Homo-oligomer: A and B are copies of this chain.
Amino acid sequence: MRTTIKDIAELANVSIATVSKVINGKDSSISKKTREKIKRIIEEENYIPNSVARTLVTKQSYSLGMIVPDICNPFFSQLIRGVEEDANKKGYDLIITNTDDDDEKLLVQLELMKKKMVDGLILISSQNSSIGEILDDINIPTVLVDRVVEHRSLVGRVEIDNKKGGSLATSHLIEKGCKKIVFLAGDIQTFSSYQRYLGYKSALEDHGLKFDETLVEFGSFHSEFGYNAVLSLLDKKCSFDGIYASNDMIAVGAMQALKSCGYRIPEDIKVIGFDDIYLSALVTPTLTTIHQPVFEMGSTASRILIDYLSNKTKSETPVVCFDTRLIERESTR
């Protein structure tokens, strides 16, 4: 049987209340002698307090839930690292789940977070209109990253200016001489992707280029989509000289397809991505992209959430918007 507070109390000939006080450092009133005796016994017995019991009475689990679309996308694994960095430092741990952009899964996972009594939630969800209501029901303090869903337990948002980033990317291709720029949108239902799409359109307009909807492809955020979309465009004899992808995974898939069809990057077709995952510096040619400070975004999300949990003063909901910047690499040089 596992050692409990009762065992420690018996061994020390004190009450469990006294043991509890020294465990929690509320021992200013406890004599030095008993305090040290209890500490010694805890040490000897390798006693680890049961935080499940503790959570039940204090209503604080010191766990945060983190729900991401896909842990295998380096953008999200880095984001997790950022959250972890801040949260662990403050004594919180993380329960992480993947939605695969599936709202059914999201719902199950939100209920899981409720069951497990997480103190707060860091969420990169879908944007479906029903999500707001569900979050209202669940009612756990939530920080959104790169998403916008209004609901009553929202305590902060961390984001970048996706429209500006999209415009930056598109303008860069135009300045490099591209006239017919494909946009690989990924899932346009996603807030950030839609904003990047708007940025694409506005940059075209700013430079006097006509928007051509046959140059836009919709799909998911994986490299397979980029690969297949490019093949399908080439198959349709669509001609283009630049590709702007909504994230780096898509861009990398697109580059693969181009190379397999004998196109040279950047000579024949230039490619730009979005996110600046480490992968983009490792592929050949290295990928020009829009950098997001992803680690910092994660730690900021955690900081906002834990600040809220510590103060419970629901002041203005903070929205932190990070700057993006263009990282020019070989794929557009």
Which residues of chain A have a CB within 8 Å of any CB of chain B?
Answer: 46, 48-53, 55-56, 61, 63, 71-72, 74, 77-78, 80-81, 84, 93-98, 111-112, 114-117, 137, 223, 252-253, 256, 259, 278-279, 282-285
Taking A51-B116, A72-B278, A93-B95 as given, write out 14 further A-B residue pairs in contact, using a Cβ cutoff of 8 Å, ordered by the A residue number. Answer: A46-B137, A48-B114, A50-B56, A50-B115, A50-B117, A52-B56, A63-B116, A74-B74, A77-B77, A81-B98, A93-B97, A252-B282, A256-B282, A279-B282
Inter-chain contacts of A53 with B (CB < 8 A):
56
Inter-chain contacts of A51 with B (CB < 8 A):
115-117
In the complex, the answer to whether B49 meets A115 with C-beta atoms within 8 Å is yes
Closest Cβ of chain B: how far from A186's Cβ, in Å?
Answer: 17
In the complex, the answer to whether A80 meets B71 with C-beta atoms within 8 Å is yes
Inter-chain contacts of A115 with B (CB < 8 A):
48-52
Q: With A112-B93, A137-B46 known to touch, is A72 a contact of B72 (CB < 8 Å)?
A: no
Closest Cβ of chain B: how far from A121's Cβ, in Å?
Answer: 14
In the complex, the answer to whether A71 meets B61 with C-beta atoms within 8 Å is no
Inter-chain contacts of A137 with B (CB < 8 A):
46
Cα separation A278 to B249 with both chains bound (whole Å) = 11
In the complex, the answer to whether A116 meets B52 with C-beta atoms within 8 Å is yes
Cα separation A283 to B53 with both chains bound (whole Å) = 50
Nearest residue, chain B, Cβ from A277 = B72
Cα separation A61 to B61 with both chains bound (whole Å) = 14
Cα separation A49 to B112 with both chains bound (whole Å) = 10
Inter-chain contacts of A61 with B (CB < 8 A):
52
Cα separation A46 to B287 with both chains bound (whole Å) = 48
Q: Offer 11 A-B interface pairs, CB within 8 angstroms, sorted by A.
A: A48-B111, A50-B117, A71-B71, A71-B77, A84-B97, A93-B97, A93-B112, A94-B95, A95-B95, A282-B283, A283-B284
Inter-chain contacts of A279 with B (CB < 8 A):
279, 282
Nearest residue, chain B, Cβ from A111 = B48
In the complex, the answer to whether B223 meets A282 with C-beta atoms within 8 Å is yes
Cα separation A84 to B99 with both chains bound (whole Å) = 11
Cα separation A95 to B223 with both chains bound (whole Å) = 28
Cα separation A56 to B2 with both chains bound (whole Å) = 13
Nearest residue, chain B, Cβ from A108 = B88
In the complex, the answer to whether A259 meets B282 with C-beta atoms within 8 Å is no
Cα separation A51 to B49 with both chains bound (whole Å) = 18
Cα separation A95 to B51 with both chains bound (whole Å) = 14
Inter-chain contacts of A114 with B (CB < 8 A):
48
Inter-chain contacts of A282 with B (CB < 8 A):
223, 252-253, 256, 279, 283
